[in-house]
Amino acid sequence: MIIGVLKELNVKEQRVAMIPAHAEALIKKGFTVLLATGAGQASGYIDEQYRQRGVTIVANNQEVLAKANLCCAVRSGANLEAKDPMLKSFTKNQLVIGLLEPYKNHPFFDVMNQLTISSFSLELVPRTTRAQSMDVLSSMANLAGYKSVILASMYAKKMFPMMMTAAGTIVSAKVLILGVGVAGLQAIATAKRLGAVVSAYDVRKEVKEQVESLGAKFVELAIESSSGEGGYAKAMDAAYYQRQQALLLDLIKDMDVVITTANIPGKKAPILVTKAMVEAMAPGSVIVDLAAERGGNCELTVLGQISDHHGVTLVGVENIPSQLPFNASALYSKNMVNFIDNLVKKTDQGWKIQWDDDIVKGTLVTHAGNIVHPQVKQWLNLGGPAS
């Protein structure tokens, strides 16, 4: 079986789907690996490193798609526009794996259906013990949580740690993390390492112990828990969010840094930080919105921009893991290789796809000319089950 690694098309995407060491591991198992020229360049992995590991370098993505049975990408598929010539290069009955952004419809899905391509969306990897080694979202969230604190420290007017000097004492910065998932926990740990006084809030009260184990204070509001499936928060009604915002106002106004991480699969990110909250914060404060790509947790966030409102800096940076492309690619690649190991097995009759495997079924979006994932069908209004 031939595995192809695509070069990412979006100039803001610096990751590569597979690094040289992991490609070599697949080659040792009997796969052939093709790489589009320069696919790893932006993340610090040059073509010669791949060659030394046994990878075949080809001219471009079109050649990869013409020859590969299975194609690996980060976000190439979902970022294709309808007029992009690469859409015409996919081959009938291929397998495609990547971050397909299944929450919205785009030309990629139409092409997959026309060519009866089986596509697997790594955003949909189940939150189970067996699937942990393939959990791309957790891998990337770890990096995003770390980088969010570094960005906050860059734009804040205050330093994070307490410092006692002959000229006086500098008090620690106060940092609030909203949302205690993987990104939030890493943000807590990073802010603590930098010496900040850290508080955290989450609608799931069961995460209190995790927050306190990292040395932060867990903030409890007089509001019901909204725990959902798979460790995520579930969507609530408008009245719930209004109560939540009213209670958060007094908390946020005293913070030097607020980092928001709240996402709900398949839905717009909830607004946690209102205009009134931003205006209540002191000039020089910073808000880093990790949900900017899903609409933002702060109602003033501008995707892809660093903006200012009444002296408060709003960081709406997108695709934060791509700002750490060397490490992000290594983690993503490991998740990818583990997924392939689970997806494809070598038998006496050749390579066999494990269609009945629960992880395979849980990530399969298009197959045999149709969108087959029940939740994706519901997101795209194609008659899937109600959420």
341 is catalytic: no
Q: Can you give the pLDDT at residue 7?
A: 94
Q: How many helices (H) and strands (E) does the chain have?
A: 13, 19
Query: What's the rounded Cα separation, in Å, for the pair 42 and 11?
Result: 10
Q: Can you give the pLDDT at residue 106?
A: 80
240 is catalytic: no
210 is catalytic: no
Q: Can you give the pLDDT at residue 380?
A: 87
138 is catalytic: yes
- Taking the model in full, what pTM does it have? 0.92
3-state secondary structure at position 262: coil
Catalytic residue among 62, 89, 132, 375: 132
* Token output for 124: 């949909």
Catalytic residue among 138, 323, 375, 387: 138
- Report how far apart, in Å, the C-alpha atoms of 15 and of each of 12, 42, 43 are: 9, 7, 5
Q: How far apart are the first and last CA of the chain?
A: 38
Domains and CATH numbers, the chain: 2-124+325-379 (3.40.50.720), 141-318 (3.40.50.720)
Query: What's the rounded Cα separation, in Å, for the pair 55 and 58?
Result: 10
In DSSP terms, which residues pair with 168 in a beta bridge? 165
Give pLDDT tens digits along the chain (387 positions): 999 999 998 888 999 999 999 999 999 999 999 999 999 999 999 999 999 999 999 999 999 999 999 999 998 666 666 556 677 789 999 999 999 989 887 888 888 999 999 999 999 999 999 999 999 999 999 999 999 999 999 999 999 999 999 999 999 999 999 999 999 999 999 999 999 999 999 988 899 999 999 999 999 887 765 555 555 555 567 777 778 788 889 899 999 999 999 988 778 898 999 999 999 999 999 999 999 999 999 999 999 999 999 999 999 999 999 999 999 999 999 999 999 999 999 999 899 999 999 999 999 999 999 999 999 999 888 765 554
Q: Confirm if 335 and 93 have CB atoms less than 8 A apart.
A: no
Catalytic residue among 135, 202, 256, 289: 135
Q: Confirm if 17 and 40 have CB atoms less than 8 A apart.
A: no
Q: Confirm if 40 and 19 have CB atoms less than 8 A apart.
A: yes
378 is catalytic: no
Largest CA-CA distance found in the chain, in angstroms, rounded: 77
